[in-house]
């Protein structure tokens, strides 16, 4: 059961990041398909998710104590998320609201001591 739940959490995160990168590239780079730079970022994000050492207790990467992204990729994904995050409400409202709900739930669990920041 845990492996299935882990896979679902990783896939949800993969979907959100993928949508954000797609939206960023489409709006910023004016392309219909991903440019080389954005495709490299997406591939890198997927690789990091595949190699996450906390798959069994996955949290949001932003609240993880181990930042496994290279500095350059960390800056790129922050830029993408800062741009795409607010726009997700317009282009992918269900995904965006679900992500906000999960974020708030996670923060509440950490605050109440039910969940550790990994």
Tens digits of pLDDT across the chain (118 residues): 456 665 677 888 899 999 999 999 999 999 989 999 999 999 999 999 999 887 767 777 777 778 889 999 999 999 999 999 999 999 999 999 998 898 888 888 878 876 555 4
How much is the pTM?
0.85
pLDDT at 1: 40
The residues, ordered by sequence, that sit 6+ positions from 56 with a Cβ below 8 Å of its Cβ are 2, 6
pLDDT at 3: 65
Rounded-to-integer distance, Cα 44 and Cα 1, Å: 28
Which residue do the tokens 């669990």 mark?
109
pLDDT at 111: 83
Q: How far are the Cα atoms of 29, 31, 47, 73, 74 from residue 36, in angstroms, in the given order?
A: 11, 11, 16, 14, 17
Q: Using alpha carbons, select from 105, 25, 30, 41 the residue that is nearest to residue 76.
A: 41
């Amino acid at each position: 059961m845990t492996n299935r739940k882990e896979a679902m959490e990783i896939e949800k995160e993969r979907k959100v990041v993928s949508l954000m990168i797609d939206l960023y590239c489409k709006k910023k780079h004016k392309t219909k398909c991903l440019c080389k730079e954005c495709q490299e970022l997406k591939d890198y994000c997927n690789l990091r998710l595949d190699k996450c050492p906390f798959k069994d207790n996955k949290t949001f990467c932003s609240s993880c104590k181990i930042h496994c992204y290279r500095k350059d990729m960390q800056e790129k994904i922050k830029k993408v998320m800062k741009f795409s995050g607010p726009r997700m409400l317009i282009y992918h409202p269900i995904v965006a609201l679900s992500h906000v709900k999960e974020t708030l739930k996670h923060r509440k669990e950490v605050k109440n001591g039910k969940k550790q920041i990994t």
